[in-house]
Amino acid sequence: MADPIRESVRKETNKLSLFHLTWPIFLEVFLFMLMGLADTFMLSALSDNAVSGVGAANQYIHIAILILEVVGNGASIVVSQYLGSRRFLEAAKISALAVTMNLIVGLVMSILFFFFSSHLMTMMNLQGEVLQYAQSYLVIIGSFIFLQAIINALAAIIRVHGRTKQTMYVSLGMNVLHVVLNYGLIFGNLGLPELGVKGAAISSVISRGLAVLVFFWLLYQVLEVRLKLDYYFEYSKEYVRKILNIGLPSAFEQVLYQFCQIVFLYYATYLGPETLAARQYAMNISMFTYLFAIAIGTGTAIIIGRYVGAGKKDEAYHQLWLSVRAAFIFTIIMVAVVTIFRKQLMHVFTDNPEVIAIGASVLALSILLETGRTMNIVVINSLRASGDARFPVKIGFLSMVCMSLPLGYLFVFVLDWGLVGIWLAISADEWIRAIIVYFRWRSRKWERFALVSPTEQKEVN
């Protein structure tokens, strides 16, 4: 006789088809990228120095957000597996605890950014206007990073319940508001003061603040068990341990990646302001080439978490390969578009011929970089969803820190390959990790890292 829990999860997970989950995630990530792109595009009307300063400041913001994803990512995977095993009360309690944990971390980080923003930007070897722009942007965005902390936790939990369409709608509203406020606060339109770079930062803070309110409302709509106020203050050593066992390695791997990006940014500062601006524009364009991979990777992780929680390891194994194939198809299409129109895309941001030439030269390497990155995004997300979160960190340290940074130094300062050398070093790292995680999934060693057992169903009160 079939296990009723497994059968129920099978029917429920079938409803969460990859397409059903992925297209709203795709639009949500696309809209999130548009928020950064809107800043870049509008600030480019001020100067390339404004773009370079904001780009440098965002390196720290990205690291901060990744640290905040310790709880968000960890909780989403734990909740996903608990949902798979039909333990709804525990899933609700973990969700509330995750919001509280992330808020505390976010408040600590906001205080640190408020007091140390200037020092952090001075360490980046920035000078003149670029330094001034970076400092003014970071102190505002960083001081309110606790808003992003709450968003990370709430959005991850809502998304893992299969409500990806709802989180997409919130992102749409947040981005529309952000662009409108950018138009007003950067240039002094709509009766608002002309604040330049500071205006872009204030715009982000306001849009995030309103998004927090909507996400809280959504949280109470999606949970199977009604959240009680007490749940936000209940400490459970078991839940915290499970969240951190997944979240800490996941975030640390991403922090390693961003640390390497900061080092590569440091390399780029020695190549001149044109190279620095070209790097920022090329990165903004490149984000759209792996957009589908991010969406498919996130959707796949939700499905695999449910399967693993229900004990359906074979279904999880085969789902990964279907997802990788889909992600590769979309990535190659986007790479082809970017490669063909790379000069025209660079021209959208700047008229400086030197900046356009440098940016176009690295975008021509997209086929090498983005295919490896696509494999990593999808497979590593799935390894985390299965509970195998530590393995990507180990190989990430060896490949990113021990291999790509020295290789980048060789290419840039010894062989004098400029920004192309940085792109090649990143590509080498992506492909080495892609090959390793491919064989890790095929080995099925990840199966022994499940966080819950489907036979341990508990009564829902």
Domain span at 280: 17-449
Q: Which amino acid makes up residue 346?
A: M
Least Cα distance to 382 among 325, 441, 435 occurs for 441
Q: List pLDDT tens digits, range 334-391.
A: 999 999 999 999 988 888 999 999 999 999 999 999 999 999 999 999 999 998 999 9
Asked if 263 and 64 count as a contact pair (C-beta separation under 8 A), the reply is no
How many C-beta atoms lie closer than 10 Å to residue 230's C-beta? Answer: 9
Instruction: Look at residue 258 and tell me if it is in a domain.
Output: yes
Task: Report the residue count for the chain.
Answer: 461
| pLDDT beyond 80 at 199 | yes
Instruction: Look at residue 10 and tell me if it is in a domain.
Output: no
Instruction: Look at residue 38 and tell me if it is in a domain.
Output: yes
Residue-averaged pLDDT of the chain: 86
Least Cα distance to 150 among 205, 193, 189 occurs for 205
Instruction: Look at residue 179 and tell me if it is in a domain.
Output: yes
Instruction: Look at residue 4 and tell me if it is in a domain.
Output: no
pLDDT at position 127 is: 81
Instruction: Look at residue 42 and tell me if it is in a domain.
Output: yes
Residue percentage of the chain with pLDDT more than 90? 41
pLDDT at position 37 is: 67
pLDDT at position 343 is: 92
Instruction: Look at residue 455 and tell me if it is in a domain.
Output: no
Place of tokens 């995630």: 25
pLDDT at position 106 is: 93
Confidence grade of residue 172 (pLDDT, cut at 50, 70, 90): confident
Q: List pLDDT tens digits, range 234-287.
A: 888 888 888 888 888 888 888 888 889 889 988 998 998 889 889 988 988 888
Instruction: Look at residue 207 and tell me if it is in a domain.
Output: yes
How many whole angstroms separate alpha carbon 158 and alpha carbon 220? 9
Q: List pLDDT tens digits, range 395-429.
A: 999 999 999 999 999 999 999 999 999 999 999 99
Q: What are the phi and psi torsion angles at 99 (to 5°)?
A: -65, -45
| pLDDT beyond 90 at 29 | no
Domain count, the chain: 1
pLDDT at position 35 is: 66
pLDDT at position 16 is: 59
